[in-house]
């Protein structure tokens, strides 16, 4: 399968039409359609953050771990931003970035994959919004809206957080939120922006990571 090129609302260029004539009986055609849906790549956007130990190493390890999943391909990595903590106990500043991934995971499967990366990097959940080795959040998934008890897409606090929106704009230019706003328009709504500083491009695409 060729790698799809991202654009807002993009789908895999190899997606097979499901509405054409077919010699399959209806049940077989439905089963084939479901199988194709499982293997079709969708674009999702994740927010990563770390504020303990070697923050850059944790971010790079998380990007590499995501890409190691057979159903996830990291497609773009934003610049790294240092940000002041929002909520929670007193703690050190975060390094944050966003990644664009092409994935064959459905939203809830992608959530489990993100949680597996957090577990691999030994994130400990003892204090809400407390210090962490890594945080991997689903910010957007294609143009989908999901409202579940354990999963909400877009991320429920995305439009309140400059540290999420600023790197997201880098990897999702032109993306439109379900409410019709562009990402820059959402960012302008919370101006002036304070406590978010670009520190560079130290975290790389997995194939470009220095040995």
Residues identified as active-site: 123, 132, 135, 137
Contact between 82 and 127 under an 8 Å Cβ cutoff? The reply is: no
d(CA 166, CA 157): 14
Distance between CA atoms of 184 and 125, rounded to whole angstroms?
A: 32
Kindly report the CA angle at 178 between 175 and 181, in degrees rounded to 5? 60
Q: Do 203 and 77 contact (CB within 8 A), yes or no?
A: yes
- Sign (positive/negative) of CA torsion 170, 152, 84, 52? negative
Helices (H), the chain: 26-39, 55-68, 107-120, 162-171, 183-189
The answer to whether 144 and 107 have CB atoms below 8 angstroms apart is yes
Structure tokens at 40: 């079709």
Q: Which helix (H) or strand (E) holds 136?
A: strand 135-141
Question: Nearest CA to 99 among 139, 149, 71?
Answer: 139
């Amino acid at each position: 399968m060729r790698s799809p090129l991202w654009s807002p609302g993009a789908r895999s260029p190899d997606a097979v039409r499901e509405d054409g004539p077919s010699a399959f009986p209806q049940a077989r055609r439905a089963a084939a359609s479901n199988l194709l849906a499982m293997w079709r790549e969708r674009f999702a956007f994740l927010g990563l953050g770390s504020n303990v130990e070697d923050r850059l190493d944790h971010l790079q390890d998380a990007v590499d771990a995501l890409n190691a999943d057979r159903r996830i391909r990291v497609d773009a990595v934003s610049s790294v931003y240092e940000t002041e903590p929002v909520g929670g106990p007193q703690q050190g500043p975060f390094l944050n970035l966003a990644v664009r991934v092409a994935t064959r995971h459905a939203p809830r499967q992608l959530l489990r994959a993100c949680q597996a990366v957090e577990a691999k990097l030994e994130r400990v959940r003892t204090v809400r919004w407390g210090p962490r080795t890594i945080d991997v959040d689903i910010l957007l998934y294609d143009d989908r809206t999901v409202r579940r008890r354990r999963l909400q897409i877009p991320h429920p606090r995305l439009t309140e957080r400059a540290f999420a929106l600023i790197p997201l704009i880098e990897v999702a230019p032109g993306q439109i939120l379900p409410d019709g706003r562009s990402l820059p328009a959402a960012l302008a709504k919370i101006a002036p922006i304070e406590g978010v500083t670009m520190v560079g491009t130290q975290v790389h695409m997995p194939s470009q990571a220095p040995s």
